[in-house]
Amino acid sequence: MAKFYSSLDEIKRELQSGRITVEALVKNYLSQIRSNTHLNAFNEVFEQEALSCSKTVDDRIKSGTAGRLAGMVIAIKDNICYKGHKVSASSKILEGFTSIYSSTIVERLLAEDAIIIGRCSCDEFAMGGSNENSYYGPVKNHADETKVPGGSSGGSAVAVQANMCHAAIGTDTGGSVRQPASFCGLVGFKPTYGSISRHGIIAYASSFDQVGPITRSVEDAALLLEIMAGADDYDSTLLQRPVPSYSSELAPSSSKKKIAYIQEALSSPGVDDEVKNALVQYIEKLREDGHTVKAIAFDYLDYIVPTYYILAMAEASSNLARYDGVHYGYRSPNATDLQSTYKRSRSEGFGKEVKRRIMLGTFVLSAGYYDAYYAKAQKVRRLIKEMTDSLLEEYDFILSPTAPEPAFSIGRTEKDPVVMYLYDIFTVQASLAGVPAISLPVANNNKGLPIGLQLLGRRFAEQELLNFSKYFLEL
């Protein structure tokens, strides 16, 4: 079994000492991938390419010209475009599609000598919280193969969890990096909206989608953020300012902080008892260390999930209109004319959950319902953002569980899909407000399943959030 490396620094020390090579590292990860194919984490492995790249990076290390990510083997979520490689968003409708360009983040990772080992399964078009909605079948949690890994970036999380790569890149629309990181015992980071380019990311909900790393350490999350972030001519929503040196300025926070925690996380019967216990333990640890920790009531908590889903589904309806069976991807063999091409290709190509969200999104945007649902949800979003910003002016961070319970069983069916949507109760606040949030692994329950806690910070205050996260994990 390949050795677990907690950070890239650890790998670099071994590379410099000559104990390992990047080629040997890649071979070990490929061996792990072969041993864990039953977890279904990868939709495709770039085996020969990764091996070829590893030799190039080894040569660059010897000549002293290697980039900052030399030695980091990364998996990417299957909604991130990589030129000359297939990308499907785990959907039948994009089966066989090859990207004609690379996303900005892939170009930036490769420029620093990262090796991309494959593309990971996800919920179809990143729509889901369990990674059961993939056209290629469910992904299994390495801690317990009867459990889900979380979603939608579940394959990315399991690839890191099972040591099939060192780090992975996912996308987070309403918690899709943080929740699987929590379920798999990893660090999952969603930066401020507008930090990382979305160019080359298959869109789900454009005003929410954000790229984020899944890692074993805060150090690696800081380095990956530093490399992926920054202005890009292809994405006008990005902040136009130099990227801070997150990795070199990373240090455990020593000053005393004011931290708020959402009181409903402890009072709600919907939150698992062991998740509550983990939260209580860390609240006590923080208080013992001199921090001010206070309970707050978030007045709009009941509106967070419905607001998010109305807006996200409306945006999904618009973004997925382009998949019509005409331009590329799946085209129904049963089509007889243009109209049947559209109808059959979309009904056969999209999965059940994606179709549900497209139909709901189309409904809330339709004449007569736009003002009642979509316009009203936009107003509530503004209220949620204003209240979140107001709280973060008074407090340094907001603490909560990442998810109401640890990983649940694969195949657990809910009569009402809203029950599944409510698992996003703690993660979607950061998405609606556009603030950075991080999930940190803090404990395992009595069945060995990981539990994560989440910290929210102020907009573009990633450095403070990362520094405090490093301190938090050392408590």
Active site residue 340: no
Active site residue 257: no
Alpha helices in 350-409 (DSSP H): 352-365, 376-394
Cα distance between residue 220 and residue 203, in whole Å: 26
Q: What is the DSSP letter of 152?
A: S
Question: 301-319 vs 352-365: helix axis angle to the nearest 10?
Answer: 100
Residue owning tokens 């329950």:
445
**Nearest alpha-carbon partner for 158 in 195, 121, 106, 211:** 121
**Which value, in Å, is the radius of gyration of the alpha carbons in the chain?**
21
Question: Hey, what are 176's tokens?
Answer: 């899709």
Beta strands in 23-128 (DSSP E): 42-45, 73-77, 115-120
State the catalytic residue, choosing from 7, 54, 77, 134. Answer: 77
Question: 218-228 vs 8-17: helix axis angle to the nearest 10?
Answer: 90
The total of other beta-carbon atoms located within 10 Å of residue 205's CB is: 24
**Nearest alpha-carbon partner for 151 in 304, 448, 351:** 351
Active site residue 176: yes
**Cβ 177 vs Cβ 188: under 8 Å:** yes
Q: Name residue 269's amino acid.
A: P
State the catalytic residue, choosing from 7, 153, 176, 345. Answer: 176
**Cβ 158 vs Cβ 143: under 8 Å:** no
Residue 74: strand pairing partners = 116, 167
Cα distance between residue 197 and residue 183, in whole Å: 26
Question: 22-35 vs 47-63: helix axis angle to the nearest 10?
Answer: 160
Number of residues assigned to the chain: 475
Question: Does the N-terminal peptide bond of residue 6 adopt cis geometry, omega within 30 degrees of 0?
Answer: no
**Cβ 60 vs Cβ 70: under 8 Å:** yes
Q: Name residue 90's amino acid.
A: S
State the catalytic residue, choosing from 54, 102, 152, 247. Answer: 152
Let me know the angle formed at the C-alpha of 296 by 386 and 403, rounded to the nearest 5 degrees: 90
Cα distance between residue 163 and residue 424, in whole Å: 27
Active site residues: 77, 152, 176
